[in-house]
Amino acid sequence: MESIRAEKVVKAFGETRALNGVTLEIRPGELFFLLGASGCGKSTLLRCIAGLESPTSGAIFFGERDVTALAPHKREAAMVFQSYALWPHLTVAKNISFGLEERKVPKEEIKRRVEEALAMVKLEGFGERSIDAMSGGQQQRVALARALVVRPKCLLLDEPLSNLDAQLRIEMRREIRRIVKEFGLTAIYVTHDQEEALAMADRMAILSRGVIEQLGTPEEVYRDPRTSYVAGFIGETNLCDGVIEKDANGYAVRLGPVRLAARITDPAWQPNDGQATKVSMRPEALRIDAAGHIAAKVVEKVYLGQSIQYWVDTGFGRLQVVEQNPHRIYSPGDEVMLVIDATDVVLLEK
């Protein structure tokens, strides 16, 4: 296991800065996600770590080694690409062994290590098959085996599941996490899929415009977003405009005719009484309850079996509400009352 560290990494393409002084550390054995919308800099950062791009300034460290100027094949890292990058004219075994042959590994050892790699990804006996005869999920496993066969200390994955259907993605999520943990790898995984990140990551960094907006565990980032961008990007949320009201008990927020107790997640932000704010409320945190004090009217519903999504109009705008295992189903036009805990009302700097 090896840590990976980026220090003040800047990457410019002409006048455009894809990375703007990024600093972060990935711990040994960690499955770390780089997450963000297209163009945020996540793939550029991964390519700088892999050695496929050179930073304009800043440094990359693997453990205590400064690898900033080191060629990709000397970094003891392996990369899995979105396109798999497999050779269709070669067999599965030949695709996997390519890196070992380039390193002049003896033939008997190549054979043994290819068989080990196939076993790691549960493709025993598939070595002589043509790549064209493999399904998308199997090709993804071959790409993983090719990366693992060189025994890297670090595994770098660039949106590796984006070409798979929904069920295969779920299956491969578990498989990739199992491999990373079972074989003690430090892994960096780039995706724009928030659900993938929440399901797999030990920690994650949310990037926007070449900087890190927030870093933390999936639970921390989801429950305690520090910016409107993070709140809106990770999961679904209701973002509303409000006014802060401070009292002896802490913070509250005025949303039209409604006043709600609330909390602040960014310790660096100390707002004043009467200050405008953004308010984040997750749809599943809102509950329909006769004892609630947010009056609402149902305007739309989507039935999903174990849950129902409602869109309701309130005195301060339209909200999405998700009811889990509902005992009663409401219809458009129904008048309801909503309740939400203070811990689920998050105030964000506007």
Per-residue pLDDT at 141 exceeds 90 = no
Same CATH topology for 4-228 and 236-349: the answer is: no
Share the mean pLDDT of the chain.
Answer: 93
Q: What pLDDT is attached to residue 171?
A: 84
Q: The pTM is what?
A: 0.89
Per-residue pLDDT at 84 exceeds 80 = no
Q: How confident is the model at residue 219 (pLDDT cuts 50, 70, 90)?
A: very high
Q: What pLDDT is attached to residue 338?
A: 97
Q: What pLDDT is attached to residue 21?
A: 96
Q: How confident is the model at residue 325 (pLDDT cuts 50, 70, 90)?
A: confident
Q: What pLDDT is attached to residue 93?
A: 94
Boundaries of every domain in the chain: 4-228, 236-349
Burial of 3-37, coded b for 16+ CB within 10 Å and e otherwise, reads bbbbbebbbeeeeebbbbebebebeebbbbbbbbe
Q: Helices 166-182 and 136-148, interaxial angle, to 10°?
A: 20
Q: What pLDDT is attached to residue 137?
A: 84
Structure tokens at 63: 């453990």
CATH 3.20.20.70 fits 236-349, yes or no: no
Point out the least confidently predicted range of 180-184, 240-244, 251-255: 180-184
Per CATH, the number for 4-228 is: 3.40.50.300
User: pLDDT tens, 29-80?
Assistant: 999 999 999 999 999 999 999 999 999 999 999 999 999 999 998 898 999 9
Q: How confident is the model at residue 179 (pLDDT cuts 50, 70, 90)?
A: confident
Cα–Cα distance, 257 to 263 (Å, whole number): 19
Q: How confident is the model at residue 91 (pLDDT cuts 50, 70, 90)?
A: very high
Strand order in the sheet with 335-339: 287-288, 335-339, 294-303, 307-314, 317-324
Q: What pLDDT is attached to residue 318?
A: 97
Per-residue pLDDT at 175 exceeds 90 = no
Q: What pLDDT is attached to residue 13?
A: 95
